Chains A and B, each alone.
Chain A
Amino acid sequence: KAGVTQTPRYLIKTRGQQVTLSCSPISGHRSVSWYQQTPGQGLQFLFEYFSETQRNKGNFPGRFSGRQFSNSRSEMNVSTLELGDSALYLCASSSGQGAGNTEAFFGQGTRLTVV
């Protein structure tokens, strides 16, 4: 079956702009999580959506937001971009039924560069 698809793969934005990233989970998966990966901070959890509801949230400012649609596709939005937002943004999907005893499948990520 098709894996997790993230679009676009690469983005270059200017400070102050906003950006929207998209994630299509594996068919049948209802949980979508977003992570930020940087060389300095590693992989950090942004938020998780399950059945269109934000179920968990990490320690990121309110400029980072997300949503999930009825078909489980998810978007994340970053407003008022800062240079420090440059990172690889990863989306992971899972069935989401358990408390963590399900495997998360990751997409290839969107590489965001803020200039």
Chain B
Amino acid sequence: AQSVSQHNHHVILSEAASLELGCNYSYGGTVNLFWYVQYPGQHLQLLLKYFSGDPLVKGIKGFEAEFIKSKFSFNLRKPSVQWSDTAEYFCAVHDYKLSFGAGTTVTVRA
């Protein structure tokens, strides 16, 4: 089964700063990749997904991610964060199940 590695445990930013969260998965082949977000007190929500096609995918709330097959990576980016982006972010890959990374807590300071 796939394993997923997220590079940062906790990221602290100021509003308007750019955000990039790293994600690597363990092996290649056909992969379905996801970024989920969990806002405080809320359920996991899908930010964006990659199944095939354009490796640069755009999601909700201004987030985007780039799939780089040669690096087994699927990094999440947002050019300018807002206070409301404070949340925990999970990268996930689906083989026969969703395998999640450990999560990155993002704190945006006003």
What is the interface of chain A, defined by CB distance below 8 A to chain B? 3-4, 33, 35, 42-43, 45, 48, 56, 58, 90, 92, 99-101, 103-109
Contact = CB atoms under 8 A, between A and B. Distances in A.
A108 B43 contact: yes
Interface in B84-110: 90, 94-103
A68 to B, nearest CB: 16
B102 to A, nearest CB: 5
Q: Size band of the B side of the interface?
A: 20 to 34
Contacts of A107: 43
Interface in B55-110: 90, 94-103
A55 to B, nearest CB: 8
- Of A4, A42, A43, A90, most buried by chain B (CB within 10 Å of CB) is A43
A105 B46 CA distance: 8
Contacts of A42: 100-103
B100 A43 contact: yes
